[in-house]
Each structure stands twice: as structure tokens, then as C-alpha cells.
Amino acid sequence: MIRKVFKKNKSNPKLDAIMKKYKIPRELLSVNRKMVSRAILIGLFIAMIPMPMQMLAVTLIAPFFRFNVPIGVSLVWITNPFTMPFIYYIEYITGNFILMSEGVYDFQFTMGWIQDNIGNIFMPLYTGAIFYSIIFSVTGYYLINWLWIISVSKDKRERNKK
């Protein structure tokens, strides 16, 4: 099932022309188990790190790790402007726990407060971010691999029954 969801792509003449014009490798859009699972690994890893231009970071990493770029880029939107404060606050709390520090008690979701206290929140925030980046990206990678393999074996069983 998971495989069929990702395999529903059709060739688009306009997209093919753009890819030919800018010499973009077609394999960065290919949909197979390795490309999709790598895209989920990279996309989830970058999504959990608090940084500007996450989509650009995923795109720049693509030539080195070879993954499906549209899936990787779309995953960074997990941390969109609505979910970002909550996710980063949880990462900050987790980072304080890992570093065994007390942290800042009067936390406020304002840019002024964050600019004034960036020195106090930087290490716990990025410690928690790295923790969650590794956990979510590796879990997503293995989950997609597992679901893909199950989907292929199920399809084989159904074909053999017919």
C-alpha cells in the first residue's frame, strides 16, 4: 500500500523540459524504496533542527545523499509557523533534561525575549533538536523501509494466489 502511494507519479512534459534545461538528474525524482526512505531520513532530520531556509538545506544536500527531493523538501514543513513554537519548546525542555540544567523559567514566545536570552537557550534547544532529529529521522527511515517491504511481499502473495 505505501509503495502504491508513492508510485502514483506521471511524467510531465514541462517538468521534463525544466530538468533537461538545468541538467537535473532524473533520479532525484525517482520513487523506489531507497530513494523514498532516504528522503524521509533527510527531510525529518532537517525539519527538527531550528534553522532558516530548511528547504534550501534539503535541496543542497540532495546531490550528496541521492534521495527523492520533493518528498524531502515537503517533510521540512512539519515544522511550519504553527507547529514551530511547540516543537522547539519541547526540544528546549528535552535539551535541558539531557544537559541536566535548570533552564529559563519565564519563557515567552516573543522575538524580543528570545533575542535577549539566546545565550541561555541555544545549547539546550540544539541539544534537544539533535536528539529529536536523530530519533524521528531514523525511526521514519526504518518504518518506511519496513512498510515498503511488507507492501511488496503482500503484492507478491496476491499475484501468486491468482
pLDDT in tens, 126-153: 999 999 999 999 999 999 999 999 988 9
Element (H, E) at 139: helix 118-161
How far apart are alpha carbons 76 and 51 in whole angstroms? Answer: 11
Work out the angle at residue 62's Cα, subtended by the Cα atoms of residues 32 and 146, and round it to the nearest 5 degrees: 35
CA 99 to chain CA centroid, Å, is 25
The three grid cell numbers given for residue 145, joined into one nine-digit string:
523501509
DSSP alpha helices (H): ranges in 22-117?
Answer: 33-47, 54-65, 69-75, 84-99, 111-116
How far apart are alpha carbons 71 and 59 in whole angstroms? Answer: 11
The three grid cell numbers given for residue 102, joined into one nine-digit string:
535548570
How high is the pLDDT of residue 6?
56
DSSP 48: T
pLDDT in tens, 75-104: 999 988 899 889 988 999 999 999 998 877
Above 90 in pLDDT, residue 14? Answer: no
How high is the pLDDT of residue 73?
92
pLDDT in tens, 42-73: 999 999 999 999 999 999 998 899 898 889 99
Residue type, 86: F
Residue type, 100: M
pTM across the whole model: 0.82
pLDDT in tens, 66-81: 898 889 999 999 988 8
Which SS3 state, helix, strand or coil, does residue 82 take?
A: coil
Instruction: Report yes or no: 2 and 148 within 8 Å, Cβ to Cβ.
Output: yes
User: Taking residues 116-125, what's their average pLDDT?
Assistant: 86
Above 70 in pLDDT, residue 13? Answer: yes
Neighbours of 82 (CB within 10 A): 7
How far apart are alpha carbons 20 and 96 in whole angstroms? Answer: 49
